[in-house]
Amino acid sequence: MHLSLLAALGPFGLGHHPAVLLWNLHLLLLVPLLALTAPACRLYPHSVSAAVRAYLPAALHWLFALSGLFGIADNWPSWQLYSSRPESWQLWIRRDHAARLPDNLQPWLSRTVVDGWQPLSLERLSFAATSSPPVPEDRFQAAVIEAFLQTMPTSTDFQIRITEPHQFRWWQRRERRVFTLQQLREEQARFLLNARSVR
């Protein structure tokens, strides 16, 4: 699996940053080494406490990873980094307010106009700045959008389109929209961890 991932991310695929390839190569080598050098451990059927000590950490690890399906764990530790499940936050600016954007954001404003709105491409901006896609985590995307909004005049009309999996029926997606900075802050307040931008 890691070899196919390296091929997809490498110079013949998506051309990701060398650090990403090094990280995945490290894991490709580390996992077999851990399996080969693990000390032999014999569990006896009558030793319940030893079995619990052995299996409880693994069970907690799996439960934490599976909790990502219900929006509890972040996408990276819950193995959803490359899945289609992660949330997507998109910032849209009203067409006739596009000139109000700062000069450093103008190149990332899409020329596509949908119902009088233009999207600001967080993906293209992230690739240009860091050679990698943005972090696929709703808290991070909300903080980036908030930082962008702080550089714009307060009279700029915007909307944030949030596409996310349903809370309990995670195989279904839903879309919500945010139209004001106050609504954005209310969205950020519902996160367990900080979702505010820091300057």
**pLDDT average, residue stretch 70-76:** 73
Tell me the mean pLDDT in the region 135-162: 89
pTM of the model: 0.68
Over residues 158-177, the mean pLDDT reads 86
Residues belonging to the chain: 199
Mean pLDDT of 185-199: 73
90 — phi, psi (to 5°)? -125, 135
Tokens of 63: 């439960």
Model pLDDT for residues 133-147, shown as the tens digit of each residue? 787 788 888 989 999
pLDDT at 139: 84
Name the pLDDT band for 68 (thresholds 50, 70, 90): confident
CA distance 124 to 109: 10
The pLDDT, as a whole number, for residue 29 is: 82
